[in-house]
Structure 1
Amino acid sequence: MDVHIHGRNVDITDRFESYVESKTEKLEALLPKAQTFNVKVSRLSDKSPKHGDRVEITIVGSGPVIRAESSGSDKYTAFDIAYGRILERVRRAKDRRQDRRGKGRTSLGDAASNDFSGVGITPASLDTVNAVANGQPVAQAGEGDDVYTPVVIRSKEFPAARLTVEEAVDQMELVGHDFFLFVDDSNGRSSVVYRRKGWNYGVISLDDAA
């Protein structure tokens, strides 16, 4: 695995490089197909040292990209936290794959094809899906007429990826997000998987014919 470390407004010392490289041995065992381990270090504020440093870690290989970031009082602390999150996401994804192989379990793909009957997941209503797609506020359960409106709305665009539901959940876990947008390979619909409690996940799909 190739290790690349970049610093922005902060010095990258030989000691820090050695520290980062020593941590990659465990990841190489967990991710034998990983090709590059990228670490970006930046100083949050030169005028306020107490704000510390931010570390962003990106692992690129033959599978999904894995990312994690964190802030700390210094670059070592920030790296350790981000590195711990990487390990947690890799292990969670591996555990989920092993759990899927258990007998008597229903895969997300099978559950979605049967409208989630018998698995305790209720798909969102068409009104909710349309509201989310159009950037409109959505009423939260139990709040009556109150609506949730985020203070800051950030907009991003990503290339559409055709994936199975299982693959989308794996990628969501590895980047550490609570949801993941994708094109469902089984039906060509724009969809999103999202994390529920524990090991439960949900899927929302847009019906282009509606």
Structure 2
Amino acid sequence: MSIESVNSDQLLTDDDETANAEVQVCGRNVEIPDHYRVYVAQKLARLERFDRSIYRFDVELEHERNRRQRKNCQHVEITARGRGPVARGEACAESFYGAFEAAVHKLENRLRRTKDRRKVHYGDKRPVSLHEATAVTAVDFTEAFKPESSAPSAPVIDDHEPGRIVRTKDHPAKPMTVDDALYEMELVGHDFFLFQDKETDRASVVYRRHAYDYGLIRLA
């Protein structure tokens, strides 16, 4: 895995807003060109206006290993870390540029909803202006970059075996209400969220159902 940090405030022009967040780009078996890192840093710097407490963006690139998803084989995940809960956007596309654009769009929507909710909570119900809503312009790239290779290599053997646990994530069990758990789930963009119910003191799970409905599972 290759990891490199980019200081985004050095990549903006005089007309852009000052960027303070660090951008860390890493790839799983992916060689990341410098021009892609610059592009990522410039794009993410414009999202800081939604939350000035963001101090780091983690961007992870990976070739999708699912053979049934060959048309959407490039995966990008962006995590914004600030004083509040983390916000995440992830997407798959035929190219890393297309996947990054889609992930940025999802992350921007979640950060905007969080900012609007904060405004309403403090009594500021000013609607989002057209300039704010259209500040990030999507760029269409037709081809993805490929990992650099100076010599022919042997075929890659996919050693993935179904049914194994390939990733484990831990998060603090902070007691919260069901409404807060739904808000956290929407913020990170997952289909479920595990939390400690503040009212019942039980481990519970909220999950997304069809037609914008939700479900709740509690341990007896």
Q: TM-score range by the shorter chain?
A: 0.5 to 0.7
Letter matched to residue 31 of structure 1: D
2:88 is matched with which residue: 64, 67, 77?
Answer: 67
The one of 95, 106, 124 aligned to 1:85: 106
Structure 1 alignment gaps of length 5 or more: 103-151
Which whole-Å CA distance do the structure 2 matches of 1:191 and 1:75 have between them? 36
Any idea what SS the aligned residue of 2:35 has?
helix
In structure 2, the CA distance between the partners of 1:79 and 1:158, relative to structure 1 (3 Å rule), is: same
Aligned to 1:31: 51
- Extract unaligned runs of 5+ from structure 2: 1-20, 124-162
- Give the whole-Å Cα distance in 1 for the aligned partners of 2:219 and 2:118: 27
Equivalent in the alignment of 1:163: 176
Please state how far the C-alpha of 1:178 moved relative to its aligned partner. Answer: 2.6
Cα distance change, pair 51–28 in 1 and its aligned pair in 2 (3 A)? closer
**Rounded Cα–Cα distance in structure 2 between residues aligned with 1:77 and 1:21:** 16
The SS at the match of 2:55 is strand
SS in 2 for 1:34: coil
Q: In the alignment, is residue 43 of structure 1 matched against residue 43 of structure 2? A: no
Q: 1:183 to 1:50 in 2, by over 3 A?
A: closer
Equivalence for 2:189: 176
Distance 1:181 1:52 in 2: 29
Change in 2 beyond 3 A, CA 1:153/1:85? farther
Cα deviation per residue 1:134-163 (whole Å; 9 max; x = unaligned)?
A: xxxxxxxxxxxxxxxxxx797967453322
2:134 alignment partner in structure 1: none
Where in structure 2 are the equivalents of 1:99-138 lying within 5 Å?
none
1:15 corresponds, among 35, 54, 65, to 35
User: Secondary structure of the equivalent of 1:10?
Assistant: coil
1:67 and 1:175 in contact (8 A); partners too = yes
Contact 1:70 1:78 in 2 (8 A): yes
Instruction: Indicate if the aligned counterparts of 2:71 and 2:93 stay in contact, CA closer than 8 A.
Output: no
TM-score, normalisation: structure 1 = 0.60
Looking at structure 2, the residues matched to 157 and 6 of structure 1 have their Cα atoms a distance apart, in angstroms, of 18
Q: Percent identity at matched positions?
A: 41
Q: d(CA) in 2 for partners of 1:204 and 1:195?
A: 11
> Does the Cα contact within 8 Å between 1:92 and 1:173 map onto a contact in 2?
no
TM value normalised by structure 2: 0.58
Please, which of 188, 201, 207 is the counterpart of residue 194 of structure 1?
Answer: 207
Do the aligned partners of residues 202 and 73 (structure 1) sit closer, same or farther apart at CA in structure 2, a change above 3 Å counting? Answer: closer
Q: Distance in 2 between matches of 1:18 and 1:172?
A: 30
Aligned to 1:143: none
* CA–CA distance in structure 2, aligned partners of residues 156 and 43 of structure 1: 19
Q: Counterpart of 1:39 in 2: which secondary structure? A: strand
Moved more, 16-25 or 159-168: 159-168
Measured in 2, the distance between the counterparts of 1:193 and 1:95 equals 23
